[in-house]
Chains A and B, each alone.
Chain A
Amino acid sequence: MLEIKQLCKTFGNNTVLKNVNFAVEEGEVAVLLGPSGSGKTTLLRCIAGIEKHDSGNLIFKERSIGLVFQEHYLWDHLRVLDNIMLAPQLVQKREKSEVYRDTLDILLKVRLQDKINHYPHQLSSGQKQRVALARALIMQPKLLLLDEITSSLDPQMIGEVLAIVSNLAQEGMTMLIITHNLSFAQKIGTSFAYMEGGMIIERDGKELFLHPRDERTQRFLAEKIEPG
């Protein structure tokens, strides 16, 4: 689905990604773990094409990517319906009636069918994030990138967003997720990578949580699992 080879990215004098090698297979739910500033978000932004990498290769089987940011970044002037319907009509040139039908299906999936005519400011933060998910899903992405989508949400809102992501994982959606929520990561992830200092330190299945090989991963997980 996606292969990353020797990816490097520098901002001024700061090298954020150092020869990153990574791959995501079809149907995989890959989770990126790591402390803040480790380069996780930059990696996702390079994959999504928001940032241009300096060197290395990004090889896509099919470049159809959806990205949901940490903040929802909905367009305030458009209703929920229009926020979702705009891109497929403009970009994919799909028929309005067909997009409308799909939008209703997706809104049902993210449990927001009753908010169709609401503006973003009339929604809770959790609902906004679910609209952002719907806006990404309407484009029928083959790979969905989620960048700490629950980190700006209240605890009670986190559950409703994560439930939807879990459903997507069960449906076989290929995802690359950045999250600090380790229990959620373990629940839906099929592979896990630990990133620090712009490098992938190690990558494994659920074994990563049980027997991390690298000292840095051990330290990170120990801090996360037993805070204080």
Chain B
Amino acid sequence: MAYHWNFSFLFFHYKALLYGCIVMLSLTFLVILLGTALGIILAIMKISPLRPLSLTSSVFIEIFRDLPVVVLLIWFFYFLPLYFNRMVSPFVVSVIALSLYLGAFSAEIFRAGFVSIHKGQIEAAHVLKLSSVQTFWHIIVPLSLKVILPPLAGRYIDTIKTTSLASFITVNELFFQGQNIISQTYRPLEVYTVIGVLYLIIILPLSLLLQRWEHARNKATL
């Protein structure tokens, strides 16, 4: 049975799709920003010699890594308005839930990077009287990038895709817009094809860019 593909109707919905892309990219940007900051903090806590800090971090990481993202999103969607006793926009809920999720995963990536540095290189900084903060930003972070970058880049790209789950709590991102168009047109195949292509257009160049950056960095340092 032949299926008659017809994409022409999508021209009438390009504004909705474009808006969905903007929401998706904004969500991704904020989640990466907050999730990365949280990941660094959790990683520092986890390698800290202070047992309460490392234990808190381990428990946090374990919980947020083990829960499905959709469960997190829906739980925060119901919990946050109750906790703050006011409406919390689904977009803000998504930023919080997805940042916590990314933070838990990236914490392990950062931790692996930080512990990969030879102790002697940190001691050299200590002897030269660099402060802990200076040692962290000028020595530990750049030296660990080689270990951190490949899995972190993968995690960032995964974050772009994960934002589609925010549609479960009515965030107007690309996937949600697609569902809206389908409910009006009843042509899911064409809509999901276009959504898939849009994801590829966004992710592919980013993926290639990260690969090139990683390659150039590795070439420069070893």
Name A's B-contacting residues (CB within 8 A). 48-50, 65-67, 69, 71, 73-78, 86-87, 90-91, 119, 121, 132, 135-136, 139
Contact = CB atoms under 8 A, between A and B. Distances in A.
Contacts of A50: 123, 126-127
Contacts, number: 60
A30 to B, nearest CB: 19
B127 A121 contact: no
A90 B138 contact: yes
**5 closest residue pairs by CB, A with B:** A73-B120, A87-B128, A73-B124, A77-B142, A67-B127
Main secondary structure of the interface of A (DSSP, over half): loop
B139 A75 contact: yes
Nearest to A83: B124
A121 B146 CA distance: 15
Nearest to B217: A77
Contacts of B145: 77
Interface residues of B, number: 20
Interface of B: 118, 120-121, 123-130, 134, 138-139, 142-143, 145, 220-222
Given A73-B120, A86-B138, A49 B221 contact: no
B221 A135 contact: no
Contacts of B222: 76, 121
B128 A139 contact: yes
18 contacts: A49-B126, A65-B127, A66-B127, A67-B127, A69-B120, A69-B124, A71-B120, A73-B120, A74-B124, A77-B221, A86-B138, A87-B128, A87-B130, A90-B130, A119-B220, A132-B124, A135-B124, A139-B128
Given A86-B138, A119-B221, A69 B130 contact: no
A86 B139 CA distance: 10
B221 A48 contact: no
B83 to A, nearest CB: 43
B221 A121 contact: yes
A90 B128 CA distance: 10
Contacts of B221: 76-77, 119, 121
B126 A73 contact: no
Nearest to A145: B127
B216 to A, nearest CB: 13
B172 to A, nearest CB: 42
Contacts of A67: 127
A73 B128 CA distance: 12
Contacts of A74: 121, 124
